[in-house]
């Protein structure tokens, strides 16, 4: 079965979706929509698709819709499509407010939508390998996440919490379970939070320390886990995982002792996360949805924690 797609939003992420979908066997892009007429017509022409101003006219020709438009428009597009299109992919964050995210969650349940949220880092091969390591740990104590960028003019509609931190908030819950308590601090520039640091206490007892910055002159994407029996260092950009296992003390009877440290590097397959993410969505459109695929509940939960982080920063309490 060929799954016919519409794509809304042709910014950087939307164009990436177009690129990957055009490569996927069994996927066909029927239309693209963007407020920039020149861009949408150029992309539509290159795909042999239609460039449209209003998406409703094309609902009868598609099985699935990818929404990669500005965050503030996500809820509107989901609502407009829900009666006619069952399979919907929404880039993160699922909406710009918790209220809108909760509305989408309720709508998805009422309409039995197959709705996937674009938490792309879940599909990073390094994260998938990291999850296997932590699931096999005797006792995970804490997990630290760091995500930093240089100052960028590309994102102006959301703060660093919804732009960057939300990825790791989702990963923290994906790896460590629901959050029971949030403490945070940060700084703002022109009313927009640009640096945020939070400690999430999970119901499991594990701590997640999450840092996000748009004012750091170095791009980082790291996860570091402290476990009883090992320390795990994961670089999401390089897709590398290094494990330092608990040192062993060896002392022959009557002789001097030696201390050995066990170091291990795990092989991570060099797959593109967006390709894996859209392959997952394509399969779900055919009725084969993975339990790991982030849905509307995950999207709403991530915004709920992000709101708690923002509130703690604004109030100046920890």
Residue-level pLDDT, tens digit, the chain, 318 residues: 899 999 999 999 999 999 999 999 999 999 999 999 999 999 999 999 999 999 999 999 999 999 999 999 999 999 999 999 999 999 999 999 999 999 999 999 999 999 999 999 999 999 999 999 999 999 999 999 999 987 665 556 689 999 999 999 999 999 999 999 999 999 998 888 999 999 999 999 999 999 999 998 899 999 999 999 999 999 999 999 999 987 666 666 666 666 566 888 888 988 999 999 999 999 999 998 877 899 999 999 999 999 999 999 998 754
Tokens describing residue 66? 């990818």
Residues counted in the chain: 318
Tokens describing residue 314? 């604004």
How far apart, in whole angstroms, are the C-alpha atoms of residue 222 and residue 233? Answer: 8
Minimal CA–CA distance to 65: which of 82, 47, 51? 82
What is the chain's alpha carbon radius of gyration, rounded to the nearest angstrom? Answer: 22
Q: What domains are there in the chain, each with its CATH number?
A: 3-121+275-291 (3.40.50.720), 124-270+302-315 (3.30.360.10)
Tokens describing residue 15? 């164009």
- Say if residue 168 is preceded by a cis peptide, omega within 30 of 0: no
* HSE-CB for 287 with a 13 A CA cutoff: 1
Q: pTM higher than 0.95, yes or no? A: no
Minimal CA–CA distance to 246: which of 265, 275, 226, 269? 226
Contact 11, 39 (CB under 8 A): no
């Amino acid at each position: 079965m060929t799954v016919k797609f519409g794509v809304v939003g042709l910014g950087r992420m939307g164009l990436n979706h177009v690129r990957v979908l055009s490569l996927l066997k069994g996927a066909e892009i029927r239309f693209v929509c963007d407020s920039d007429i020149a861009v949408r017509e150029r992309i539509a022409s290159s795909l042999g698709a239609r460039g449209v101003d209003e998406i409703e006219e094309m609902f009868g020709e598609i099985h699935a819709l990818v929404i990669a438009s500005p965050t503030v428009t996500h809820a509107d597009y989901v609502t407009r499509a829900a009666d006619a299109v069952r399979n919907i992919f929404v880039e993160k964050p699922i909406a710009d407010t918790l209220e809108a995210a909760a509305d989408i969650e309720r709508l998805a349940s009422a309409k039995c939508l197959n709705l996937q949220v674009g938490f792309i880092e879940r599909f990073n091969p390094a994260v998938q390998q990291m999850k296997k390591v932590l699931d096999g740990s005797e006792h995970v104590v804490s997990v630290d996440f760091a995500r930093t960028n240089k100052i960028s003019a590309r994102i102006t509609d959301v703060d660093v919490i919804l732009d960057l931190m939300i990825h790791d908030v989702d990963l923290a819950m994906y790896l460590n379970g629901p959050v029971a308590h949030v403490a945070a601090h940060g700084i703002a520039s022109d009313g927009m939070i640009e640096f945020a640091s939070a400690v999430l206490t999970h119901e499991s007892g594990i701590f997640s320390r999450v840092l996000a910055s748009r004012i750091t002159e170095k791009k980082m994407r790291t996860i570091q886990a402290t476990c009883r029996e090992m320390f795990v260092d994961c670089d999401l950009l390089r897709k590398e995982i290094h494990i330092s296992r608990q040192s062993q003390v060896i002392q022959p009877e009557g002789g001097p002792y030696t201390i050995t440290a066990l170091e291990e590097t795990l092989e991570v397959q060099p797959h593109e996360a967006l390709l894996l993410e859209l392959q997952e969505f394509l399969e779900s459109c055919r009725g084969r949805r993975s339990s790991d695929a982030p849905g509307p509940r995950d999207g709403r939960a991530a915004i709920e924690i992000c709101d708690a982080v923002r509130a703690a920063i604004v109030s100046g309490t920890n």
